[in-house]
Amino acid sequence: MGKKISVQQVQIDEMLRLYGDGMCVKDVAKAFGISVGKTYYMLQTNGCNFRKQGRNRTRNKAEKNKKICDDSRWRSSDIEYLKKNYPMERAEDIASAIGRSKSSVQHKAHKLGIKKDRAAFFDTRSRVQKEIRPHAPTILSSKGYVYRYMPEHPNADKKGRIAEHRVVMEEHIGRILDKGIVVHHINGDKADNRIENLIMMTNAEHTRFHNIEGGRKR
């Protein structure tokens, strides 16, 4: 009479076979309707050699990333170019010149502590844009102000626009206006952006001026 094989042993043999064919412990547990912990215990106590592919994949990925980092080391000439041009040029222009991505350029500049020179950056971009587009497209806002499309301007809004009267004043004085400075239209015509019709004021001065004007109208 042959040796009797228990149902549990048949189950264990099937679990070992499934795991050996490449199924993970979680899927084996699901196939037999038992917990992962119990499945792991049953496999372990019956001599199962667990795979270590997960660790190998992690190690291989780390080695691959290390290799990428080694291959993308910055040359001294590229770093010098970055230091010289980043304060006044766009990151994408520098990236194109040295054959790198925009994010790589920005990351390296941040790491080296290189910052944008707002005035120099605006001056460079304005000169380039004037060569490409002598007359920037304008739009009249609902409040009567004229806006220029100048996405290169450091104070442009999310749509790349900036009030024309501020740009005219900046071009006149040769620098970027602080955000606390107001450019007032002398004749009250918000669309008249001739330099002779514009005057700079602080926010407080501008508010006081309009309060006085309002009092006179009453």
Residue pLDDT, tens place only, 133-148: 445 567 888 788 889 8
Residues in Cβ contact with 75 at an 8 Å cutoff, skipping those fewer than 6 apart? none
Residues in Cβ contact with 84 at an 8 Å cutoff, skipping those fewer than 6 apart? none
* Distance, CA of 138 to CA of 164 (rounded, Å): 8
pLDDT tens sequence for the chain (218 residues): 444 445 577 788 888 888 888 888 888 888 888 888 888 888 888 888 887 755 555 555 555 554 444 345 888 888 999 998 888 787 888 888 888 888 888 889 998 998 877 666 666 555 555 554 445 567 888 788 889 888 888 888 888 889 999 999 998 998 899 888 999 999 989 889 999 999 999 988 888 887 876 655 54
Buried b (16+ CB within 10 A) or exposed e, 83-100: eebbbbbbbeebbeebeb
**Is the Cβ–Cβ distance between 19 and 48 less than 8 Å?**
yes
Please report the pLDDT score of residue 67 as a whole number: 44
Class of domain 136-217: alpha beta
Q: Where are the domains of the chain?
A: 7-50, 136-217
Q: How big is the CA angle at 102 (ends 100 and 106), to the nearest 5 degrees? A: 105
Q: Which amino acid belongs to residue 9?
A: Q
Please report the pLDDT score of residue 68 as a whole number: 41
Please report the pLDDT score of residue 115 as a whole number: 85
**Is the Cβ–Cβ distance between 161 and 139 less than 8 Å?**
yes
Ordered DSSP codes for 42-89? HHHHTT-----HHHHHHHHHHHHHHHHHHHTPPPHHHHHHHHHHTTTS
Q: What global pTM score does this model have?
A: 0.40
H/E stretch holding 201: strand 198-202
Beta strands in 108-197 (DSSP E): 138-140, 146-149, 161-163, 181-185
* Distance, CA of 94 to CA of 164 (rounded, Å): 29
